[in-house]
Amino acid sequence: MNKFSEKGISAQGDSNSKKETKDDFFPPKEDRINLKEVAELFGATPQTVINWKKKNLIPFYQINKFSRPFYSRSQLIKLASKNQHLIKH
């Protein structure tokens, strides 16, 4: 079993395998938050969040280079629990 078959994606693309869609890649809409909400979640400024994004310190999603990035609240909560230094008390 390879890493693709574990996710239900066939290397040969057989008809029985589940096709991956954009909805499978992006977090559910109710889990998506914007830049300002991330800043509030971490007690940081929006500019700090932008800096973290540029340094790849936090996960984010972007449709294309012209769209605004969005974030997964659940992924950020997991990240924060493992990286307490990112949270300002």
Residue 87: band (very low, low, confident or very high) from pLDDT cuts 50, 70, 90:
confident
Residue 40: band (very low, low, confident or very high) from pLDDT cuts 50, 70, 90:
very high
> How many domains in the chain?
1
Label residue 32 exposed, middle or buried (CB < 10 Å: 0-12, 13-18, 19+): middle
Residue 66: band (very low, low, confident or very high) from pLDDT cuts 50, 70, 90:
very high
Q: What percent of the chain has pLDDT over 70?
A: 71
Q: How many CA atoms lie within 13 A of 42 on its CB side?
A: 30
Q: Is residue 60 part of a domain?
A: yes
Q: Is residue 80 part of a domain?
A: yes
Place of tokens 């559910």: 28
Q: What is the pLDDT averaged over residues 5-23?
A: 46
List the CATH number of the domain containing 30: 1.10.10.10
Structural domain containing residue 68: 21-86
Q: Is residue 8 part of a domain?
A: no
pTM of the model: 0.67
